[in-house]
Structures are given as structure tokens and as C-alpha cells.
């Protein structure tokens, strides 16, 4: 359960960004140094969870920026789209392999590439929406510190199959908006 101060900070961030969610609780993130906010539940009853590390390291402006990012994600239904994408691709792989063999596998691969490209674009749109709702500088700071840091070994193939764009691309999209 969140303390009164933690609840007050989260409520302030929710109000500032018009995120339609209730406060669900605080998750442990101190040991892994994970500073993140998570939306859980169906789209009509979202609950916001924050890690204790996020509440310790993020300023109020950074919490508002993270809430604005989650509001953009909620508005575009990215969480639901990822689940639907995974279900469609699993079904198409099973049917494709059982009916068409290797051709079905190539079709499922093409579908995965198309859906992953589309979801990466939707994520960038949610980032731009967050930069319009809140100050850009705290949003950039939270991406640089809270997201997975840019890695030099992440190759072109990995980014091609990923459902989320690399942090460098997300930072670039927010800066240019």
C-alpha cells in the first residue's frame, strides 16, 4: 500500500495528465533499480502501479511525464493491441504451419514484421502525445534514466522484430516534436 505522500504524488500526476486510472499500489523496484509506472486492468478500469524506486528517484515533473506517456498509451490502446497481435500471430502460425507448411511460416513472419512495425509507430505516437501533454524535458529525462539504456549490441535484426522502438528512436521522436 502506498504511503500518504506517495499517494498524493501519484494523484497529482494523474490529475495533471487526465489519466483515467485509479492508484493500484506500489511495486518493488528498488533492488533492480526499475523506475517505471504500469497500467494494469481492462481499459474501462485501469489501475496505475508505480515502483518504489520511481517514487524515490523521479521528481514530480518526471512522474507527470511518465503518467502522460501512460495516458497516451491508454488512449491508443497499445496494451490491447499487443495482446491481439500476439494472439493473431500465434493462430496464424499454427494454422499456417499445419496447412501450408513453410509457406505458412513465411506468412506468419511477414505478419509479425508488419504488426511489429505498426506497434512501434503507435508507441512513437503515444510518446508524441505525452510530449504535448507535459513538458518535454522531464519526459526525456525519464526515458534516459528509466527505460532500458541504449545498448550498442542491439542489432538491426533485433530492432526489426521488437514490438517497441529503441530508446534512441523514442528520444529522437520526442525531441523533434
Q: With beta carbons less than 8 A apart as the criterion, state whether 63 and 54 touch.
A: yes
Q: Which domains does the chain have, with CATH numbers?
A: 4-75 (3.30.2010)
Give the count of beta carbons closer than 10 Å to the beta carbon of residue 104: 17
39-79 residue pLDDT tens: 888 878 888 888 888 888 888 888 888 888 888 888 888 88
The grid coordinates listed for 164 are: 517497441
Question: What is the pLDDT at residue 154?
Answer: 58
Amino acid at each position: 500500500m502506498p504511503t500518504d505522500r506517495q499517494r498524493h504524488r501519484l494523484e497529482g500526476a494523474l490529475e495533471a495528465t487526465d489519466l483515467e486510472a485509479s492508484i493500484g499500489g506500489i511495486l518493488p523496484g528498488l533492488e533492480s533499480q526499475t523506475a517505471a509506472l504500469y497500467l494494469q486492468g481492462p481499459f474501462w478500469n485501469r489501475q496505475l502501479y508505480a515502483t518504489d524506486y520511481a517514487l524515490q528517484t523521479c521528481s514530480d515533473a518526471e512522474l507527470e511525464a511518465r503518467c502522460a506517456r501512460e495516458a497516451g498509451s491508454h488512449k491508443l490502446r497499445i496494451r490491447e493491441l499487443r495482446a491481439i497481435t500476439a494472439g493473431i500471430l500465434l493462430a496464424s502460425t499454427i494454422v499456417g504451419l499445419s496447412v501450408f507448411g513453410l509457406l505458412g511460416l513465411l506468412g506468419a513472419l511477414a505478419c509479425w514484421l508488419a504488426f511489429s512495425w505498426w506497434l512501434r509507430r503507435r508507441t512513437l505516437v503515444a510518446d508524441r502525445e505525452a510530449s504535448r501533454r507535459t513538458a518535454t524535458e522531464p519526459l526525456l529525462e525519464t526515458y534516459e534514466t528509466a527505460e532500458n539504456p541504449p545498448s550498442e549490441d542491439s542489432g538491426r535484426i533485433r530492432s526489426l522484430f521488437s514490438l517497441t522502438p529503441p530508446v534512441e528512436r523514442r528520444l529522437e521522436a520526442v525531441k523533434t516534436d
